[in-house]
Structure 1
Amino acid sequence: MARIRRRAFTALAALAPAYLRPGPAAAEPPPPTGPDAGPSTGPDAAGFESPGLAGDHLPAFHRRLRDELAFPLAWGTSPIRDFPTWRRTARATVEEHLVHPADDTPFDAEVVDERPGGGCRRRIVLFNVTRYSRVRATMLLPKGRGPFPAVLLLHDHGARFDIGKEKLVRPWYDEARLPSALAWADRHFGGRFVGDELARRGWAVLAVDALGWGDRFGLAYEGQQALASNLFNLGSSPAGLMAREDQRAAALLASLPEVDGDRIAALGFSMGAYRAWQVAALSDHVRAAVSACWMTGLKEMMVPGNNTLRGQSAYFMLHPGLPRHLDIPDVASIAAPKPMYFTDGEDDPLFTAAGVETAYRKMRAVWRSQGAGDRLHTEVRPGLGHTFTPAMQDDAFAWLDRWAGGRSRR
């Protein structure tokens, strides 16, 4: 039976009136508000934790939690020395933490609209992205005879929910969304629609809305926490559902007769970049990926002022419990030795320079260990922020042409 230590209160009679009698209370120092603040009274005063939270809604003990994260399953730390065995084990661990179950529902894909435009063929495709949801996707096919190399386009978050796939593919089918889409392309992509540009360069592209965006609208910034809690209560999660749907979209793309299933890449910006490297790690259909502006070490991301600490959008990019096993770049490294392209701006406010460098260093070590160092491209662009400029796009597209097939040779 646990014993409770008792303290001797030698001045109890004197203390009691102090907090019972009326009048202004004695001045006390305000509780610390910094992210590293500990208990306000200290262990030698009251002897208990108060307050329980530091700044940015971090628990007062967050440094201890952070220091406990040793990422024991990371390649090079794990006792598993055979890389294929490690990759299978690490992927299985990620799959377990997705919470959302795997899905083999027939796609039952249906082309409901096709027309020429913008130098390519434009399609609307309906398919079962899971056993729960049938969605509308946009697809662009280049001129010429296939099968074509293909890119799965993965849209960002951006706290902009009225458009999803329309952030990457010009919405010829919906004039009401065109102004928002044009504004987004101007803001982040130098006025380009990334998908339309890829189609002109010989790539088939597919873009699908994540839950809450575009056709699957209904999400607002403040509602993300409620959606997350409801999905958790229903045995799912926002990040797990998104990961599963991205796996399914890649599998659909590989199944289409116009697509060369051996030349499929994923590409995304911001949250879409996270999705791109994640689906490359989890899907055998994806042979290469371009990730623009989303990579960091986890510990370096959990710092004062980081957007992640606000919650909300973070729910789409976290798998509860997984950091007890793997760091963020460790998950991306499951994709090794596939060709992978990571680019970020030096002044990106969402990721610290230390976080980006930590992640790049970890990944470079993995690819080099497999004799594939030339297949991993990591860069930080001087003077740029959270953006995917035309120059960045051109370099990424040239890299895709080299490593994932470029124009069809048939």
Structure 2
Amino acid sequence: MKRRSVISLPAVALAAPHLADARAAAGFEGPSVIDGNLPVFYERLRDELTFPLGWSRTVGKDAAGNQAAGSRAGGSQAAGRDWKRRARATVEEHLQQGPERAAFAPEVIDEQAAAGYRRRQIVFNVTRHSRVRATMLIPDGAGPFPAALLLHDHGARFDIGKEKLIEPWYDETRRASASAWATKYFSGRFVGDQLAARGYVVLAVDALGWGDRGGLTYEGQQALASNLFNLGSSPAGLMAREDARAAALLATLPEVDPRRIAAVGFSMGGYRAWQVAALSDHIAATVSVCWMTGLKEMMVPGNNTLRGQSAFYMLHPGLYRHLDIPDVAGIAAPRPMFVMGGELDPLFTAEGIAVAYRKLALIWSAQRASRNLRTKTWPGLGHIFTAEMQDEAFSWLDANL
């Protein structure tokens, strides 16, 4: 009987140093398959994303993908309406969170006078599973008033959520944290208080993990996401549903004109703002600050958005096989939308922002509503919502509501 020799793979590599080159020629990936949070084949995956349901690939095209006869560039009004129905249904399918029909049952638990408006705390059923505390500001006077749903950022800061946007008169510890946040990102202002002084009812609600709904840590986001996935839900889908519910609650309040409700948000809140506008017909106008890009242009090595964890709140698995990010925002067209960001924002590439702005412009233009879309990149600014940016955004809101 012949004896067999067993030679380890490292030994073979030492005996034949040319083997590594042979592996590379054969397409073998080798030991370093992950590089900078991306697989080495990420470019091939990215190239396979064609967004087949995107506006520019579907509207005005026939079944063979050719420009439909008699349609103007961008497609007809009827085609546009059909696209929006199909696009919204696609987003809904990927939320991993079914429709919510629980009664809001709002209850005022605190109200105090301030200069020109009233401060109010309410509790309501944001879903059938969660009864939450929210803060509101209501202008003095008879009303009904225009309203703004304020959507807080992520910021890896979980002890405050709604308090980032409305000064927390009810908690000195949170007031100190919120004031520091406002100084860092909002020129020392509370965005909600600014809007209330301009005559808007404002409402802010904590997303799951922030403020009253806290207990989350940065490192715990992945575990929360995986557990929600196992439970048939997702952080992003739950947040999307809850934001739409908050918009619907505003529309029921006697102080609010239901035809004049805006969504306003910064950073993750900017993402939430255009997303809720896409999913809720209650939103009449949108201000989205520092969250807009093309998906493919965002997926580049070194981009700050590729670190995971926080991304779970802005991730609907599988959605981008169908629609690009600006396509989702475009479901809100032709309603007014102002999308802005800083030239030096580290979260998004200049190319990604430019691609997104072009796609948004195409959607609004095709619906003869170019005047309702405004996009702006602020020179020399990063991930921030300064007083000057706020003043321009709020003046735009006044004109459109």
Q: Is the TM-score greater than 0.5? A: yes
For 1:17 and 1:223, how far apart are their aligned partners in 2? 40
The alpha carbon displacement at 1:43 in A equals: 3.5
Amino acid in structure 2 at the alignment position of 1:16: I
Aligned to 2:117: 120
Aligned to 1:60: 40
Q: Is the 8 A contact 1:40 1:50 kept in 2?
A: no
Aligned to 1:9: none
Aligned to 2:191: 194
Change (3 A) 1:26 1:202: farther
Aligned to 2:235: 238
Is 1:298–2:295 an aligned residue pair?
A: yes
Is 1:218–2:215 an aligned residue pair?
A: yes
For 1:295 and 1:19, how far apart are their aligned partners in 2? 48
Is 1:370–2:367 an aligned residue pair?
A: yes
The alpha carbon displacement at 1:148 in A equals: 0.5
Please show how residues 194-343 of structure 1 align to structure 2 within 5 Å.
Answer: 194-343=191-340
Aligned to 1:50: 30
Amino acid in structure 1 at the alignment position of 2:231: L
Per-residue Cα deviation, 1:92-146 (whole angstroms, up to 9, x for no partner): 0000000111101000000111110143100001000001100000000012111
Aligned to 1:34: none
Secondary structure of the residue aligned to 1:335 is coil
For 1:217 and 1:53, how far apart are their aligned partners in 2? 36
Is 1:85–2:67 an aligned residue pair?
A: no
For 1:17 and 1:87, how far apart are their aligned partners in 2? 59
Secondary structure of the residue aligned to 1:177 is helix
The alpha carbon displacement at 1:58 in A equals: 1.2
Deviates more, 1:81-90 or 1:267-276: 81-90
Amino acid in structure 1 at the alignment position of 2:235: P
Please show how residues 140-159 of structure 1 align to structure 2 within 5 Å.
Answer: 140-159=137-156
The alpha carbon displacement at 1:175 in A equals: 1.0
The alpha carbon displacement at 1:75 in A equals: 1.0
The alpha carbon displacement at 1:51 in A equals: 3.2
Secondary structure of the residue aligned to 1:364 is helix
Secondary structure of the residue aligned to 1:196 is helix
Identical-pair percentage: 66
For 2:10 and 2:137, how far apart are their aligned partners in 1? 73
Secondary structure of the residue aligned to 1:290 is strand
* Gap regions ≥5 residues in structure 1: 1-11, 32-38, 405-410
Aligned to 2:55: 75
Secondary structure of the residue aligned to 2:56 is coil
Per-residue Cα deviation, 1:375-404 (whole angstroms, up to 9, x for no partner): 100000001000000000000000000001
Amino acid in structure 1 at the alignment position of 2:7: A
Deviates more, 1:341-350 or 1:81-90: 81-90
For 1:40 and 1:233, how far apart are their aligned partners in 2? 42
For 1:150 and 1:398, how far apart are their aligned partners in 2? 14
Per-residue Cα deviation, 1:360-382 (whole angstroms, up to 9, x for no partner): 00000110111100110000000
Secondary structure of the residue aligned to 1:248 is helix
For 1:208 and 1:279, how far apart are their aligned partners in 2? 14
Question: What is the count of residue pairs matched by the alignment?
Answer: 380
Per-residue Cα deviation, 1:14-69 (whole angstroms, up to 9, x for no partner): x9378569xx968979x9xxxxxxx994143xx53323623122122211110010
For 1:20 and 1:349, how far apart are their aligned partners in 2? 46
The alpha carbon displacement at 1:76 in A equals: 2.4
Q: Is the 8 A contact 1:300 1:354 kept in 2?
A: yes
For 1:389 and 1:53, how far apart are their aligned partners in 2? 41
For 1:178 and 1:131, how far apart are their aligned partners in 2? 30
Change (3 A) 1:42 1:374: same
Q: Is the 8 A contact 1:51 1:60 kept in 2?
A: no
For 1:74 and 1:351, how far apart are their aligned partners in 2? 21
Amino acid in structure 2 at the alignment position of 1:380: T
Is 1:400–2:392 an aligned residue pair?
A: no
Per-residue Cα deviation, 1:321-373 (whole angstroms, up to 9, x for no partner): 00000000000000000100011000011110000000000000110111100
Change (3 A) 1:325 1:27: same
Aligned to 2:70: none
Q: Is the 8 A contact 2:38 2:301 kept in 1?
A: no
Change (3 A) 1:27 1:180: farther
Change (3 A) 1:70 1:122: same
Amino acid in structure 1 at the alignment position of 2:47: D
Aligned to 2:7: 16
Secondary structure of the residue aligned to 2:338 is strand
For 1:90 and 1:229, how far apart are their aligned partners in 2? 26
Aligned to 1:387: 384
Aligned to 2:71: none
